[in-house]
Amino acid sequence: MKIAIIGAGLGGLVFGAYAAKDGHEVLIFDKNNKPGGVVALLEHEGYKFEQGPLLLGDMLEGEPVYELLKEFGITLETQRADRDIIMPDYDMVKDDEYKGPYWRREKLKELFPESKKGIDEYYRFYDDMMELRYISTLPDSMMKKLRLAIAFLKVKKYANMTAEELSMHFFKNKKIATLFTGIFADFCADPNEVQGLGIAFTNFETAFDKRIPLEKNGKKYYPGFCFITGGCQKLPEALANYIETHNGITKYNTIVEKVKIENGKACGVYLQDGSEIEADMVVGCGSGKDFFENAVGLDNLDDTYRKILREYRPMEAVFMLHLGVDYDPMQYMKSSLYYCYGMYDLHSATENLRKGKYHGGKDGYLIFVPSYHAPEFAPEGKHCVTIYTVAPDQLCDGTWEEKKREYADELIKLAEKQLPDLSKHITGMKIMTAEDYRTYTHMRKSSFGGVVPIWNQQNPPHVTPVRSLYFVGQQSENAGGVGAVMLGAKAAYEKAFKK
């Protein structure tokens, strides 16, 4: 079977790798000159940068993405990693001396003694959720179903709470609640839109201290987080190489204009240069709204799918500042990734973002040092620093091109709270705005992280109303994140071939 895949991001590459493995003829089209989409490296003035902090879950030995890659004989070297959090008037930065897996709990009780009872109650909830998660990873059986049902009873009373309701139930104090819900601002989501149980899965304690053991009672129990040694681009490169060695072809610098549809079935693609490619199956990636409105045509879809496309909400953009520096930023940081929050009002932050009001970094920003896990990204004696914020795709006041240098200077000044004298040590700079990412990802609206995790929101399914047409990637039903996109593409392939 001949399969045409539109986009060489991780979704398209994983689908293509499975197809190539099974002996299908794979043809991938991508507008850029290398694979990976937003996972691909950006090179500038002798430095290399990843498009944000690719601190990955599911990649360690025995975890789902690791096992997926093993099916293709791919094993990548990884290193466990973590992140620290800076709040407006306190921080959650690990001590040099390891103080156990619940050091954050104990530190919170020291900082907020009046909230000890709620903090302890939250961590009992967290442990119950970890038990539920662990059981879900076991092989299917009647015993597993019974254990899941019993474990769920422990958290059932929280199941109908939003993230806002659940965090305030435990903590009452907004300063503590925001520590656990602040990550939703990174997803462009209001805590009132997100299911409360998700707090446990966006605040794994192992994400905040790589020294926490992942085993319990001799078994792998907790998820770990890691960087790919040498950079995340090794992941799409390995998949693309696998496809090529199994007779697949990737055509770079090539834009697909339309999906060819006859009698309700996808049967090829039309390229921008006017050529027509016949295929037995077509796989789309990228922006759901763009792909189905422009390349497929809404009239080829049913009412249910059109409704999903109207109602699901993609995330907003990012403002990303890549810097080459001539000093070691790690002398000031305990981990290579800092989340720096500047406020406690996530509702206003989300509302302003959606209205096109950019906060300039004052609501919060991230500092990431990619040369920590990939020293070769910087010339000898130098380092890479990436500072970024979530940002509107379109500004309500001015354009990104007009404002980008002003906003870059503001962000550097804010980051100097963590990296003293940063501005004096900059040797190279690349500013990436929503306008750049629209071009880079071939989207009308820059949506950097996929879809907003709104409770009960349905995202575009892998299986479409058009026969032999499938949709994968960060705006599909699996939503965003490297692991989710890759595992979702595997699930889409299994649906396509009924495995």
Cβ of 4: how many Cβ atoms within 10 Å?
Answer: 24
Pairwise CA distance, residues 195 & 453, whole Å: 9
For residue 465, the model assigns a pLDDT of 98
Pairwise CA distance, residues 321 & 342, whole Å: 18
For the cut 90, the answer to whether the pLDDT of residue 387 exceeds it is yes
For residue 8, the model assigns a pLDDT of 96
For residue 390, the model assigns a pLDDT of 96
User: Tokens representing 47?
Assistant: 């430095």
Cβ of 126: how many Cβ atoms within 10 Å?
Answer: 20
CB 361 within 8 A of CB 342: yes
Residue 397 burial (10 A CB sphere; 0-12, 13-18, 19+): exposed
For residue 447, the model assigns a pLDDT of 86
Residue 369 burial (10 A CB sphere; 0-12, 13-18, 19+): buried
Q: Give the whole-number percent of the chain exceeding pLDDT 90.
A: 95
Pairwise CA distance, residues 277 & 135, whole Å: 46
Q: Which residues contact 292 (CB under 8 A, 6 or more apart)?
A: 284, 298, 301, 305, 309, 460, 464, 471
For residue 295, the model assigns a pLDDT of 97
E strand or H helix at 445, and its extent? none
For the cut 90, the answer to whether the pLDDT of residue 441 exceeds it is no
Instruction: Using the structure block, give the residue that is written with the tokens 């897996």.
Output: 101
For the cut 90, the answer to whether the pLDDT of residue 395 exceeds it is yes
State the average pLDDT over residues 14-38. Answer: 96
Positive or negative torsion for Cα 352, 285, 137, 72: negative
Question: Residue 148 — pLDDT band, cuts 50, 70, 90?
Answer: very high
For residue 16, the model assigns a pLDDT of 98
User: Mapping DSSP to helix (H, G, I), strand (E, B) and coil, where does residue 26 land?
Assistant: strand
For residue 296, the model assigns a pLDDT of 98
Question: Residue 440 — pLDDT band, cuts 50, 70, 90?
Answer: confident
DSSP bridge pairs for 391 = 317
State the average pLDDT over residues 345-349. Answer: 95
- For 156-194, the pLDDT digits (tens) are 999 999 999 999 999 999 999 999 999 998 899 999 999
Pairwise CA distance, residues 478 & 211, whole Å: 30
Question: Residue 424 — pLDDT band, cuts 50, 70, 90?
Answer: very high
Pairwise CA distance, residues 330 & 313, whole Å: 37
State the average pLDDT over residues 233-238. Answer: 96
DSSP 455-474: TTPPPPPSB-SSBTEEE-ST
Residues, the chain: 499
Top CATH class, 41-75+83-90+221-230+316-448: alpha beta
Q: Give the whole-number percent of the chain exceeding pLDDT 70.
A: 100
- For 70-85, the pLDDT digits (tens) are 999 999 999 999 999 9
- For 207-226, the pLDDT digits (tens) are 999 999 999 999 999 999 99
Question: Residue 446 — pLDDT band, cuts 50, 70, 90?
Answer: confident
The CATH classification of domain 2-33+233-313+451-496, taken from the options 1.10.10.10, 3.40.50.1820, 3.50.50.60, 3.40.30.10: 3.50.50.60
For the cut 90, the answer to whether the pLDDT of residue 54 exceeds it is no
For the cut 90, the answer to whether the pLDDT of residue 240 exceeds it is yes
- Domain ranges for the chain: 2-33+233-313+451-496, 41-75+83-90+221-230+316-448, 95-207
Pairwise CA distance, residues 285 & 350, whole Å: 27
CB 476 within 8 A of CB 459: yes
For 468, how many CA atoms within 13 A lie in the half-sphere containing its CB? Answer: 20
Pairwise CA distance, residues 499 & 492, whole Å: 10
Q: Which residues contact 454 (CB under 8 A, 6 or more apart)?
A: 189, 193, 194, 313
